[in-house]
Amino acid sequence: MTDPVAPKRIFPDAKVDAEAAKHIPSSPQTEDPAYSLAFQDKDFLLRPDLRPVRFQLELLKPELLLDEQQIGSTFVFYGSARVPEPAKAELLLANARTDKERLIAERLKAKSHYYDVARELARMTSKVERDEDGKRQFVVCSGGGPSFMEAANRGAADAGAESIGLNIVLPHEQLPNPYVTPSLSFQFHYFALRKMHFLLRARAVAVFPGGFGTFDEMFELLTLIQTGKVRPLPILLYGREFWERVVNFEALVEEGVISERDLDLLTWCETAEEGWAKVCDTYAQEEAPLRAAS
């Protein structure tokens, strides 16, 4: 007599129940929306009072899929969606018609070389080997859009590695850039959940010149570290000339609203090599230091 084997589950899969619901005979009762299975009732799920459930689903879906794909940690890239790569910056400048357009085009061109820096940095981090548990570490993660986000995903693709894109629903159309790995391309409705997923697995962050969105993401991360909500991690700030022109960090110290030591949270960088060296130095004392693939 062989030992009995207990079944893994006694309830059918939700997919089975959902399929069975399609074959219910029609009647006034079954045709009313009230009879629909709750998880198949779109109007029900989109009710204002179901927002907490939608929050939970938006947090859970990427978490489960990233776990299934063995994503252990990420290297996050923040930056503008408006700074073109160098060749396109030249074209933008050539097509400028007014003095104002020319001035803006010149400033965009001055920042465009960071596209190549972001691409190279992403290529370098994408060569880190899996850890002993098979987890992928320092996987490139961007907002999934154009400009520096595209450069990050493109750099990972250069290395033959997969990368993550966290897109957001906006009033104007936003498509994931073509270098995001399709199975790691996510779309969010809630900015709060998107920002949470940026940082849940982050072990390093590179911040390139940007506008409101970049400011929001960077300063929220600085606040989380400053207040002890997350452990310190390398924050590489690229484009010192830009940042010191638009943010007077020293004035914040002089005004007494931040401490001098808070500025130590930032690491100024100009090249991919120095940024990656900083990350490697930070984790050099870890039990399993970074191992770059040959």
Q: Give the amino acid at 123.
A: R
Q: Is the dihedral of CA 88, 89, 95, 101 positive or negative?
A: positive
For residue 165, pLDDT beyond 70: yes
AA identity, residue 20: A
Please check whether residue 292 lies inside any domain of the structure: no
Asked, for residue 10, whether it belongs to a domain, the answer is no
- Between CA 250 and CA 240 the distance in angstroms is 13
Residue span of the structural domain in which 146 resides: 61-83+116-282
What is the C-alpha separation between 100 and 121, in angstroms, rounded?
33
**Domain contains 267:** yes
Query: Has residue 211 been placed in a domain?
Result: yes
> Within a domain: residue 186?
yes
Considering the domain boundaries, does residue 102 fall inside one? no
pTM over 0.85, yes/no:
yes
Q: Encode pLDDT of 222-233 as tens digits.
A: 999 999 999 999
> What does the mean pLDDT of the chain come to?
93
pLDDT in tens, 55-83: 999 999 999 999 999 999 999 999 999 99
Q: Note whether residue 180 is domain-resident.
A: yes
CATH assignment of the domain containing 246: 3.40.50.450
In eight-state DSSP terms, residue 268 is E
pLDDT single digits (tens) 101-133: 999 999 999 999 999 999 999 999 999 999 999
User: With 60 as the cut, is the pLDDT of residue 293 above it?
Assistant: no
The pLDDT value recorded for residue 288 is 52
Does residue 135 fall inside a structural domain?
A: yes
The total of structural domains in the chain comes to: 1
Reduced to 3 states (helix: H, G, I; strand: E, B; else coil), residue 146 is coil
